[in-house]
Structure 1
Amino acid sequence: MSWSTARLDQVAEIVGGSTPKTGVAEYWNGDIPWVTPADLSDLSGHYIGKTPRTVTPAGLSNSGSKLLAAGSVLLSSRAPIGHVAINTVPMATNQGFKSLVPDASKVDSKFLFWWLKANKLYLQSLGNGATFKEISKAIVARVVIPLPCLVEQRRIASILDHADTLRVKRRRALLLLDELATSIFVEMFGANSGHEMQDLSDVCSAHSGGTPSKARADYWEGGLPWFSPKDLKTLNLYDAIDHVNAVVLEETALRIIPKDTVAVVVRGMILSHSFPVSRLRVQSTINQDLKALLPKNGIDPAFLAHSLIAQAPIILSKVSTAGHGTKRLDTQSLMSTQVPKASMKSQLEFRARIDRLDSHRETLVKRADALDELFASLQHRAFQGEL
């Protein structure tokens, strides 16, 4: 099937963003949602209607930022390139965006959203910059997209929406398994179990990580997992998105984290609403936004991980905001968290029950991964006119 094509600036207005002066109180905590790329990285769906930070009309006008109408397509242009969402209410963005306000007579916002999602790697390849990659307004303007008629655009978007819903349901089943595990923990060690409590520092030691120089390409050519907050999406982690070379351990302060360590996020906007906890099931390294918690003798890693998950609401209440707005959890606050005292026998009984859930989880993960592969194929065919 032959479709016409168009540059993005021919079908949408391209709008950048900015940040009001953080030292001016009257610019902040208003009624206008203000988005950063980090807000999109934590987004579970396609739409965004609420943000951790807001600005006032004065902050908007004095920053030179523009209010984006609902139904715009937000595209992060740096740190990282390629996060996409559709806003459900008028909102502004920081300078890390080149958002698109579609011409409704030419392009459907959901079709544009899916095309950008499917071409994330291509968009990232267009990035320029020594310190970090960024795509400029001019680069975004020149991007060419396929442009079938509006009826066909909406049909394609509807097909992809439906397929994505199936993927989300499969992933939701995995989350329900995690919730079941938490219920088992509360049943065995919760407030009504009669267990005494102790400081987290009594059951584990905390270790920090770091980021090797991006200027050293050889540092990033190895097979050693380097975990960061973007990896902490599931309870058990066997590999990371990024990897480093063993030479990093010799030339930097980065250190090996032994397998069956528990990792938690201690810095990032995700701490405004969630406290990610994962078991690192392989020998690895971590970045500076995580803390690695090494269980002491007599402490099972599964028990430790679920102790933290159960205490997540209390831990989140200890999160503070740094001067530049980033959320952080200091080590002293983390390590003073109260966790149950439990015999090794009880811990191992809990682990046995959790291991049975993990077996079922592995089956679900394989099915979810298969759906992801099918969806990627469907996306490719959709924009080739093969649906």
Structure 2
Amino acid sequence: MEVKKYRLTDVCDFQGGSQPPKSEWTKTLKDGYVRMLQIRDFTQPNKENIEYVRITNRIKTCKSEDILIGRYGASVGKILTGLAGAYNVAIMKTIPDQKKLLKPYLRHLLVSPSFQNYILNVGGRAAQAGFSKSDLSRFDVFLPSLENQKRIAQVLTDCEELIAKRKESIALLDELLKSTFLDMFWKKNLDYQNWERDTIEGYALKRKASMRSGPFGSSLLHEEFSESGDVKVLGIDNVVNNFYEEGKPRYITFKKYEELKRYTVHPGDVLISIMATNGRSAVVPQNIPLAINSKHLAAITLNQKKILPFYLKYSFQYHPLILKQLSKRVKGAIMSGLNLTIIKELKLPQPPLSLQEKFSSVVLKIIETNKLYHNNLLELEYLYGRLSQDVFKGELDLSKVALREEFKK
């Protein structure tokens, strides 16, 4: 498949947005006004934050099919499309020469790792100062014929749709688990009001350090970790998807473990992240090797004659009573400020063990399916990344792919 090399700005122009004075803004649509597009309009489409600006020769406008790029801050390099109106200075519009570069191909190029990595690293300053047309002129692109651009866009779009479907399947599993939990342990269960309540600390096993966060400060230094060793160290990556995963290889010596024995993690412990991605949780599997938890996790060893690990773990995610208490004690969806003291003081009903056991059996089946879906998703994302990397380097020939009608236009 023949390709030609160009500088990006030789085949695509880029137009920055405008920032009209606040006196020309309004929250209601009037004659002579147009919607003003900001990053949040694309990233938070369900929020009521639509604003309009007066139409003047100073504003820059786009159509819904135009491809835009986030220019500053946390949204630098974010690819935006689907809305029409004026756009502000935090956004840049692409204007491809469609005799050489088709919009569907351009969109896939802009979301590819090669372009995204370039934008994030350009000059070491992109996140703060944004990027300019001059920066984009140093990015090389390899363009096949227009027909082959259509084929590439079709293959990559198919990959994106497979990834989206797998993510939807994972979300549906989560909804199934949530609805099952609420049916069994919330007000739909007529016995709910009769269950005794206790604090999570009250449900912990009555022994020293049954609730603990990992070693802080000089007790365990990063340089003491190795990729292999005697004792595994569990961190956020082991619970980030709300089920136990192997995570990164992180070990300490048995000698170091002797100093940190009180942080030993046991099969059936409930782990809850208390730094960064706060509130993620998992139940430690039965086949866990010798391990401790890091400072990023709280570990709870339960009295399983009272409550079972999966009931507590999913109470932390779904139980309205727990979520209401947390909303008063921590900040926002990331649960900023969550700590072991707060977790200890949370109150939770105690359902019959037989009901908890029934729920646990459902959980185990769903977790296995969830892991399978997550592994499948990782494979799909790897395939998509590899395909886009090879395609945009001009190293993959897709000229024999049959074009479907919707991609022939």
Which residue is 2:94 aligned to?
Answer: 101
**Aligned match of 1:13:** 14
Greater Rg over alpha carbons, structure: 2
State the match for 1:123 in structure 2.
118
Partner residue of 2:176 out of 180, 201, 204: 180
Distance 1:375 1:111 in 2: 14
The whole-number CA distance in structure 2 between the counterparts of 1:15 and 1:181 is: 46
Match of 1:360?
Answer: 369
Shift of 1:75: 4.6
Tell me by how many angstroms 1:364 deviates: 3.4
Q: Structure 1 residues 295 and 86, CA, compared in 2 at 3 Å: closer, same or farther? A: farther
In the alignment, residue 96 of structure 2 is paired with which amino acid?
D
Distance in 2 between residues matched to 1:155 and 1:52, nearest whole Å: 36
Which of 245, 253, 256 in structure 2 is aligned with 1:238?
245
Gaps of 5+ in 2: 29-34, 205-210, 285-290, 399-409
Q: 1:161: Cα distance to partner?
A: 1.0
Where in structure 1 are there 5+ consecutive unaligned residues?
A: 40-46, 269-274
Q: 2:69 aligns with which of 45, 67, 74?
A: 74
Residue in 1 aligned with 2:136? 140
- Asked if residue 110 in structure 1 is aligned to residue 114 in structure 2, the reply is no
Distance apart, 1:283 and its partner CA: 5.2
Contact residue 257 and residue 285 of structure 1 kept, 8 A: no
Name the CA distance, whole Å, in 2 between partners of 1:286 and 1:342. 31
**Displacement of 1:4:** 2.1
Distance 1:130 1:154, change over 3 A: closer
Q: Deviations over 1:170-205 (max 9, x none)?
A: 332232222222232223212122223747655576
Paired with 1:6 and 1:211, the residues of 2 have a C-alpha distance of 52
Partner of 1:44: none
Q: What residue number does 2:397 align with?
A: 386
Give 1:43's aligned residue.
none
Q: Given the two structures, how large is their TM-score scaled by the length of structure 1? A: 0.63
TM-score (norm 2): 0.60
Equivalent-residue separation in structure 2 for 1:326 and 1:310 (angstroms): 13
2:360: which partner in 1?
Answer: 351
C-alpha deviation, 1:101, in angstroms? 2.0
Deviations 1:229-252 (A, max 9, x none): 9x84x33141557x87869x99xx
Q: For the Cα contact (< 8 Å) 2:61–2:87, is it kept in 1?
A: yes
Q: Indicate the percent of aligned positions where both proteins have the same amino acid.
A: 16
Distance 2:358 2:327 in 1: 31
- Are residues 161 and 330 of structure 1, via their aligned partners in 2, closer, same or farther at CA, if it must alter by over 3 Å? same
- 3-state SS, counterpart of residue 303 of structure 2: coil
> Aligned in 2, Cα 1:139/1:338: closer, same or farther, shift over 3 Å?
farther
Q: Counterparts in 2 of 1:1-387, with a 5 A limit?
A: 1-10=1-10, 11-13=12-14, 15=16, 32=36, 34-35=38-39, 50=45, 54=49, 70=64, 71-75=66-70, 79=74, 83-90=78-85, 99-103=92-96, 105=98, 106-120=100-114, 122-123=117-118, 126-129=121-124, 136-137=131-132, 138-193=134-189, 194-195=191-192, 196=195, 198=197, 202=201, 226-227=235-236, 232=240, 234-240=241-247, 258=265, 260-263=269-272, 277-279=280-282, 281=284, 284-285=293-294, 292=298, 294=300, 296-298=302-304, 299-311=307-319, 315=323, 318=327, 331=338, 339-383=348-392, 384=394, 385-387=396-398
1:354 and 1:169 map into 2 onto residues whose CA distance is 22
Q: Equivalent residue of 1:236, what SS?
A: coil
Distance 1:83 1:220 in 2: 35
Instruction: Look up the equivalent residue of 2:67 and give its one-letter code.
Output: S
RMSD: 5.5
Give the paired residue count.
344
Q: Per the alignment, in what secondary structure is the counterpart of residue 2 of structure 1?
A: coil
Q: Rate the CA distance shift 1:283–1:209 in 2: closer, same or farther, 3 A.
A: closer
